[in-house]
Copies of this chain bind each other. A is one copy, B any other.
Amino acid sequence: MSKKIVIVGGSAAGMAAAGRSKRLSPDLDIHILETSKFISYNICSLPYYVSGEIPSQQSLIKHTPESLKQKYGIHAHTGCRALKILPWKRQLLYKDTDNRTQSSLDYDKLVLATGYKPHLPHLGKKVKGLFTVSRLEDGIGLVEALEASSTVVVVGAGYVGLMIAEALKKRGLSVTLLEQGDQVYPLVDVDMAQLIQTELEYNGIFIRLKHKVTNLETIGGKLKAFRVGRHYFDCDLGLVDIGVVPNIQLADESGIGLGISGGIAVNSQGKTNSPDIFAAGNCAETIHLVTGEPIVSTLATTAAKQGRVVGENLAGRRSEFDGTLETSIEKVFNLGVSRTGLTLHQALKHGYKATATKISTRDNSAPSPVSDRIHVKLVYTMSSGRLLGGQIIGPGDAAKRIDTLSVALTAGLNVRQLSQLDLAYAPPFSTLLDPIQIAANVALRKLRDD
């Protein structure tokens, strides 16, 4: 008899585990449970649906339960919420969210790919006009609410907040961004964040830092304003993005071990402490490749790779996931913004004797037809110059250069080795010394005290 695999969660990790295991072992009987009505959609493109650049929600959806069944023989159960795991019976209890009936699925192997959920310590009320964005339904609801709206307040300047602020600005709304911290986009250091803030403000986003929302004001159950101390920020719509937490309730209530990061503890193969139960994606721990410490990634890239590794193990292979550098990239109006490894702030917090070098240079060789500025920040140890992280802001695809630093981090290179790299040059693409190497040379001078 064919083995039965049950996967809880149909996003990046769950879909990767399903697809990879089925490809290697076509006999597997694979079932995916997904709370949402949709499965296998591109959540990272949701801002482009909100902005109207992607006209229909259909083009965000890669597969339907029908196409998964037909093309891959994978069974998807959408609109189903997992309730409880009974490990000793190898059984999962779940509820159909439409007809509210409870059912069960037996499994040989179970995969938890439950992702993350918005963290809403004091703004979690169900209020009309108040949105979070972590599922396709959220984006659809937001677009439906646009017609009657002209002002929006976005609470939190993390990457979802920035993406949605830009999308709604493109829809013609008046957009106010409230951030409780002292910078936008805390994934980069404050000096780099100032460049992002300038770009946002230049494009008409009204930003207030150090503004912690203390309360919501409603009229007739509908959002009316956010309150920050004695100030009120009126709006027709509110979007809250003040952080996410790994969605571990199901695991925790079923006695599956959590790690110190707060995510489900797994080994490099994705195995939990419960026999026959795997976890992958933004609910599961992995290792940060610079610090060596456990971390829960919030990235779809990490989730997809973790899911793929679990899929290979489900198919009887021994496959391992090495870890994450939390490499990410975003487009903020006309800027690309990227980062990998540790920011200087993070490095110092982790106890590294670290320093940083930031350079700003033209993106392309001087007499080239196309040219603009690129900003590169390198974070490295003061003793050996070992790279700890990097941040890049620039026009076009310039920020995708972060991959060069990501590989350098993986290989444990120092700034001298960075300066010796053989990076590609031609006038339309770069300066003779790539901006990364210009930064590495400045860092070398700092280390040697030239």
CB-based contact A425/B54 at 8 Å = no
CB-based contact A321/B24 at 8 Å = no
A4 adjacent to chain B (CB < 8 Å): no
Interface residues on A, range: 35 or more
* Bound CA span A12–B402, Å: 26
CB-based contact A406/B422 at 8 Å = yes
* A328-B426 contact in complex given A397-B397, A420-B305, A433-B304, C-beta closer than 8 Å: yes
- The segment out of A171-179, A204-212, A220-228, A360-368 that lies at the interface is A360-368
**Chain A 420-445, CB within 8 Å of chain B: the 1/0 string?**
11111111111011100000000000
Pick from B45, B336, B340: contact of A429, CB under 8 Å? B336
A244 adjacent to chain B (CB < 8 Å): no
- Chain A, range 377-420, C-beta contacts under 8 Å to B: 396-404, 406-408, 410-411, 413, 417, 420
Q: Identify the closest chain B residue to A409 (Cβ).
A: B422
**Chain A 56-96, CB within 8 Å of chain B: the 1/0 string?**
00011010000000000000000000000000000000000
Output the least CB separation between A291 and chain B (Å). Answer: 14
Output the least CB separation between A199 and chain B (Å). Answer: 15
Output the least CB separation between A230 and chain B (Å). Answer: 38
A236 adjacent to chain B (CB < 8 Å): no
Output the least CB separation between A86 and chain B (Å). Answer: 34
Residues of B contacting A450 in the complex (Cβ-Cβ under 8 angstroms) = 24
A245 adjacent to chain B (CB < 8 Å): no
CB-based contact A407/B400 at 8 Å = no
A326 adjacent to chain B (CB < 8 Å): yes
CB-based contact A289/B44 at 8 Å = no
* Bound CA span A48–B340, Å: 35
A157 adjacent to chain B (CB < 8 Å): no
A338 adjacent to chain B (CB < 8 Å): yes
Most chain B Cβ neighbours within 10 Å, of A331, A368, A422: A422
Q: Identify the closest chain B residue to A289 (Cβ).
A: B422
Pick from B369, B402, B410, B425: contact of A424, CB under 8 Å? B402
Most chain B Cβ neighbours within 10 Å, of A48, A404, A417: A404
* Bound CA span A96–B450, Å: 38
Residues of B contacting A406 in the complex (Cβ-Cβ under 8 angstroms) = 404, 421-424
A330 adjacent to chain B (CB < 8 Å): yes
Q: Identify the closest chain B residue to A430 (Cβ).
A: B400
A302 adjacent to chain B (CB < 8 Å): yes
* Bound CA span A100–B179, Å: 72
CB-based contact B396/A422 at 8 Å = no
* A432-B322 contact in complex given A400-B400, A417-B410, A423-B403, C-beta closer than 8 Å: no
Residues of B contacting A400 in the complex (Cβ-Cβ under 8 angstroms) = 397, 400-401, 424, 429-430
Q: Identify the closest chain B residue to A437 (Cβ).
A: B305
Pick from B59, B326, B420, B425: contact of A422, CB under 8 Å? B326
- Chain A, range 301-321, C-beta contacts under 8 Å to B: 301-302, 304-305, 321
A327 adjacent to chain B (CB < 8 Å): yes
A282 adjacent to chain B (CB < 8 Å): no
A182 adjacent to chain B (CB < 8 Å): no
Output the least CB separation between A364 and chain B (Å). Answer: 10
* A367-B429 contact in complex given A411-B407, A424-B402, C-beta closer than 8 Å: no
A127 adjacent to chain B (CB < 8 Å): no
CB-based contact B45/A365 at 8 Å = yes
Residues of B contacting A327 in the complex (Cβ-Cβ under 8 angstroms) = 422-424
20 examples of A-B residue contacts, CB within 8 angstroms: A42-B366, A42-B432, A44-B427, A45-B427, A54-B369, A59-B367, A62-B366, A300-B432, A301-B422, A325-B422, A327-B424, A400-B401, A400-B424, A403-B423, A404-B407, A407-B411, A407-B421, A408-B411, A410-B411, A410-B417
